[in-house]
Structures are given as C-alpha cells and as structure tokens.
Structure 1
C-alpha cells in the first residue's frame, strides 16, 4: 500500500504516551469485545474481567513501530475523510462529519465501556469516536494470520464504516432494534451491521485506488485474507470449536469477503444494503 508522504488527519486523539487509564471494570461494548476476542483467540480473559481494565498507569515510551503505526493510521484516516466527504456529497446529498480516532496503548476508557488491547478496535456511537490499540495489528499478523499494511488499513476502514452507518442513521436504528428482540435475532442484526461495514470498506478501497493510487500488487488479497481470517466460522473453528451460526455476530468468512468485494466492485453506497438483502 502506498501511503508514505501523504497528509495525515487532524482528527487523531493520541493517548498512547499516557499508558493505561485504570478505567475500572470493563463494561458494555468493552465487555462484549473482551469476551469475543478471548473466545476467538482462545485466550483466558478472566484476570482482565476480574481486575477491570488493564492498569498500567504512568507514561509509556513509544517505540519506532508505534510511531510508524500512528502515522499509517493517520494517513489512512485522512484518506477516509476525503473519500467519504466526496461520496456523501455525490451519492447522499449531505455533508459528511468526520469522526475522531483514538489511539491508545494498554487501556483507555470510552462512553461505550473500557477498552484494552484485548478488546480489539471498535466504534463508539456515543461519542462518535473509533478506538484502536495499534498493537492489534501485531495480533492480526501473529495470531490471526492477517498480514500486510492493507489488511491493517481494512481494519481502520471498517471501524470508520461504522461511523458512516451512524451518519446515515442506519446504526442507531439497527442498535435500537437489537435491544427489542431476542439474543438470536440481535445477533442476526449485528451480522447485517458488520457485513454492511465490510461492503463500505470495499467502497473506500476502490476509491482510495481511484483518488490516490494507494493499492499495490497483493493489497486486495491482503484485505480479502483479513476478511476471511476474522469470519465468525473461521474464528470459532480456529479456537477449537464447532461453528455455531446462531452465535455469529460478524458473518462468515465467505460473507465478509463477498460483501467487501461487492463494495469494491460497485463503489456505490446504495449497493451495500445488507438490511434489504434476502441473501447475506
């Protein structure tokens, strides 16, 4: 992926040098994410759940890898800002309000609950911020088998896609409905939310190529591999469990790849309507 030398975003809130915030017990979205990552990776997260958020405290020294990751995320975020501003103007007919992306190392807090390196990246609609421990890129490569800078860019684009859903009014309606139905039905809605975000990530990817010439040979394969490795069925299988469709919250590997590809091939927001799709 070609990203060096391009402008970075001003919408970065870098908390990494502060270390852990000692945010107390992990709750809400944070709790669900901790359980999910632990389940998927076969990690015992009970100490984290008992002790609350990781309590590092003090100042943290940023490594060269941390600095590079921060610059990479900043450029990728800037690309999403330009692309979605254009697409909202052209396809939606309204202005796009860009989100803030919070970089942290160890742990931090959000209105959606505590966050740690175990939670993985997430978007919090309460403050319209995406949260990312850049150490997750290492987790992707070493534990999930999703290597490459474009795979990392896909993760950033996916979380920003949740903000796009929020701007479109889709996320609020879907989450409100999830609170009114059974757990199984809630999971099914969650799958549609996540697959739409994958499709929107594909739209970002094709426009990043058109506007910035970002993609290099093998980049699309990296994104498709990342989508495969984080499919619910693959994650459950790799954790030594039999895939249980009623527990899926993000979609299968095949679904995630197909919806990303759909967005990339179309480039149109209207074609990412997973809620109106009869087949996911």
Structure 2
C-alpha cells in the first residue's frame, strides 16, 4: 500500500508541473489571450485567376484587284472632270491591268456632244478626253452644268480563256461626272464711231460690236447707252450726250458676225444734244459724251466702253 501511495504522489506532482501550477480546468481556451501584442494573420481568400480568352484570328475578306482606271493620279471612285464653257480642256485617263496576258481597252457611252475620247498612239494604256463645251451650255440661271457618261473596261478579243474567266463578275463600267463652269470672260466691246466734229444738223451712223465669250452667237447680248457724271471736271466739262443716241430704225436687230461677235446699229442725232446744250448756255459748240455698256445674255458679266466724246458744231437750225 505504501508503494501505491508513493506512485500516486509522484504522478500528481508531475501533472501539476506540466500545468505550470495552474488548474487545467480554469485555463482559457484562447491560446492568444496571454500574448496581446501578437498580431493575428488572416490569409486572404483565394481569388480564382482570371483567364483571358484567347483572341480568335480575324478573317479578312480580300478581293484581288484585276485592273484600275485613273484620271491622271486620281482614282475613278470619285472621278469628276472639270471644264469651262468655251475653253478646250484635255484630260488624261490611264488604265492598268494586273493580270499577265490580258490586253484591254476603254470605250465610252453617253459622251457629251463634241467631246473626243481617243487612245494616245505612243502611250499604251493612256486615253485622252478632249472637249470644248459650248459657251451657252450653262444657262442664264445656272452656275454650272452637270453631266455624266460611262467608261467601260473592255477585254480585248483573243485573251486566253483562263485569264478572261478571272474577270467574270467584275464590275467593268464606271460613272464619270462632268462639271462645266461658266466662263469668267467678259464681253469685248468695240464702238465704231466716226471722228467729229459733227454739224448739229447731220445725223451720224455708227455701230457697236460685242464679242460675248459666254453667250456666243446663239443669243445676242444686251447693249445700253448711258453717260458718266463723274466726267464733269473743272478742267473739262462734258455735256451729257447719251440722249442723242438711238437705234437705227432700218436695222433694229443685231446681226451675228462670222467672227462670233454681234453688231448693233445706231444713229447719233446731234441736234437733240445741241438743243439741250443751248438751254444750258452753250453757244458755238459743245463737247458731249456717252458710254456703251454690254451685258452678257447668259452670265452676269458686263463690259463698259471708254468714254465716247463727241464735238458738236452748233448752228441756229435743227434737223428732225
């Protein structure tokens, strides 16, 4: 019995030592309570890695270009040919074929009247379009004339069948826009008046020639007779002489000349001006003046002649 008591005492002592003198039943279950300075590490939650989907290769639809037609260096996708009425203009059009063994040419449809489309003899694949639009193509209320024609790419006969087969389904016709601007040239005016002085009683015949680059000879320009008050200076005072100018009653209509001009016919009646000058205090003679203005019948352009000075010898009589 004594040995059993000793053994029990030893085991009890060892248990107390292992518990560091504390009662195991009173020990807190939190092992970190006695270590307040110790920071707790909480590992972050695992985030599943994002997988970037692999980009699929793009499929590019490519259609081979078998030929092209160009205006000088410009593509036919926006081919516009510019002209000026009455002026001859030359455009160079080039065609290229990118298939060996194929020869081609160009032909047109709906080409403007008077235009010429020919192949350059010394430059294969080069075509020349030349045209001088009529002066009156641009109407009175128009700023430009617009037209259109087609150019067609034509494969020459004798082209091998395999090469010709490549062009099946290709669009070979292309539209070409044509813009014609009105000419900016003004009418050219010439007054054919004999030199004076003129007796008061003598009617004077004279003509006015007008070259209208815009209207041409299809429609006559408008001509007006007026005077310029600013010509009244201290050194030289010119009397208004436009009242003495009237249309020739025998030739009221203008006549188209072979050079493209229009001729207008007038009569100068000095006695009308002399009577007015006499009322103004003139006695022996009077220097009168007038101007001629020509307006194009198609455009807004006009021209004014130099001052036409007329010396009238005044007498007591008058002609009617």
Q: So what's the TM-score if we normalise by structure 2?
A: 0.20
Q: Give 1 or 2: higher strand fraction.
A: 2
Pair member with larger Rg = 2
Q: Structure with the greater relative contact order (CA < 8 A, sep ≥ 6): 1 or 2?
A: 1
